[in-house]
Homo-oligomer: A and B are copies of this chain.
Amino acid sequence: MIVVMRAGASDQDLAHVIEKIEALGYRAHVMYGVERKVIGCLGDERGKAQLQSLELLRGVENVVPILSPYKLAGCQLKPEPSIVTVSSECAIGGRSFAVIAGPCAVESEEQILQTARAVAAAGANALRGGAFKPRSSTYSFQGLGEEGLRLLRLAKEETGLAIVTEIMDRYVLDQVIESADILQVGARNMQNFPLLNALGSAGKPVLLKRGMSATIEELLLSAEYILAAGNPDVILCERGIRTFETATRNTLDLNAIPALKARTHLPVLVDPSHGTGVWSYVAPMAKAALACGADGIIVEVHPRPEEALSDGAQSLKLDKFAALMNEMKPIAEAVGRNLGRRNAECVRA
Contacts and interface: CB of A to CB of B under 8 A. Distances in A.
Interface string A317-343: 000000000000011011100000000
B248 A243 contact: no
Interface residues of A, number: 113
Nearest to A42: B33
Interface stretch (A111-119, A156-164, A286-294): A286-294
Given A66-B4, A224-B137, A293-B284, A52 B245 contact: no
A134 interface: yes
A308 B54 CA distance: 10
Interface in A281-311: 281, 284-285, 287-293, 305-311
Interface in A10-38: 20, 29, 31-35, 38
Interface stretch (A147-155, A176-184, A209-217): A209-217
A194 B212 CA distance: 19
A201 to B, nearest CB: 14
A312 interface: yes
A175 interface: no
The copy count of this chain in the complex is 4
A273 interface: no
A66 B69 contact: no
Contacts of A134: 191, 193
18 contacts: A2-B38, A35-B67, A46-B137, A53-B306, A53-B307, A136-B221, A138-B225, A138-B228, A171-B194, A213-B244, A243-B244, A245-B255, A247-B255, A247-B259, A254-B285, A288-B289, A288-B291, A291-B291
Closest 3 pairs (CB-CB, A-B): A53-B312, A213-B213, A330-B334
